[in-house]
């Protein structure tokens, strides 16, 4: 059976290449990749990519996926204090599923309380929040710690996708 991954993007201003690069890598490796946003309405990237989400965040169930990947970009701030999204993070963690986050999205994981004592990276603007919530921030392009993969910025999107694929294949 194909392993399934859900990419969670902001409805507006997700970072295009942070979705497109890892999704392409996973698609090419034979994984089934779905995209979720707050609603099923069209989602638009910061650089203009338009996608129709496969599902709304409320429809995402951890038992249906092997991994959840949170995409950055300015719009990801909309999920920082979204109770539904934070609970989804906790639910994926409770089921020991792979969780990824890139750019500013690691703050979603931190705000959900799952990064305490974890080695992580993120866009530099998030360093203080991550440390305040107990994470060990490195600023490296990509970090992996206990089924949590974090990446710094769009330049790390390809390596982020490769790490996700490697861990899913393991």
Q: Is the pLDDT of residue 64 over 80?
A: yes
Residues 95-109 have pLDDT tens digits of: 999 999 999 999 999
Q: Mean per-residue pLDDT for 117-131?
A: 99
Percent of all residues in the chain with a pLDDT value above 70, rounded to a whole number: 100
pLDDT of residue 159: 99
Percent of all residues in the chain with a pLDDT value above 90, rounded to a whole number: 99
Q: Is the pLDDT of residue 38 over 90?
A: yes
For the whole model, what pTM was predicted? 0.98
Q: Is the pLDDT of residue 1 over 80?
A: no
Instruction: Write down all domains in the chain, each with its CATH number in brackets.
Output: 4-169 (3.40.50.880)
Torsion angles phi and psi, residue 50, rounded to 5: -110, 130
pLDDT of residue 79: 99
Q: Mean per-residue pLDDT for 9-16?
A: 99
Q: Mean per-residue pLDDT for 9-28?
A: 99
Could you tell me if 138 and 121 are in contact, meaning their C-beta atoms sit under 8 angstroms apart?
Answer: yes
Q: Mean per-residue pLDDT for 157-167?
A: 99
pLDDT of residue 170: 86
How many contiguous H segments (helices) and E segments (strands) does the chain have? Answer: 5, 12
Query: Mean pLDDT, the chain, as a whole number?
Result: 98
| Upper half-sphere CA count for residue 155 (Cβ side, 13 Å) | 6
Taking the CB of residue 94, how many other CB atoms lie within 10 A of it?
10
Could you tell me if 28 and 5 are in contact, meaning their C-beta atoms sit under 8 angstroms apart?
Answer: no
Q: Which residues contact 1 (CB under 8 A, 6 or more apart)?
A: none
With b for 16 or more beta-carbon neighbours within 10 A and e for fewer, the 10-42 pattern comes to bbbbbbbbbbbbbbebbeebebebbbbbbeeee
């Amino acid at each position: 059976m194909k392993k399934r991954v859900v990419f969670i993007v902001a409805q507006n201003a997700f970072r295009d290449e942070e979705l497109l690069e890892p999704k392409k890598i996973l698609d090419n490796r034979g994984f089934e990749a779905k995209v979720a946003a707050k609603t099923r309405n069209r989602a638009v990237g910061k650089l203009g990519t338009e996608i129709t989400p496969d599902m709304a965040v409320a429809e995402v169930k951890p038992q249906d996926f092997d991994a959840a990947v949170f995409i950055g970009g300015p719009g990801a701030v909309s999920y920082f204090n979204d109770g539904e999204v934070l609970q989804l993070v906790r639910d994926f963690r409770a089921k020991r599923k792979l969780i990824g986050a890139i750019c500013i999205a690691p703050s979603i994981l931190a705000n959900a309380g799952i990064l305490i004592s974890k080695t992580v990276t993120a866009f530099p603007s998030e360093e203080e929040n991550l440390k305040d919530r107990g994470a060990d921030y490195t600023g490296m392009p990509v970090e992996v710690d206990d089924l949590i993969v974090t990446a710094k910025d769009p330049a790390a999107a390809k390596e982020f996708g490769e790490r996700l694929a490697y861990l899913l294949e393991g």
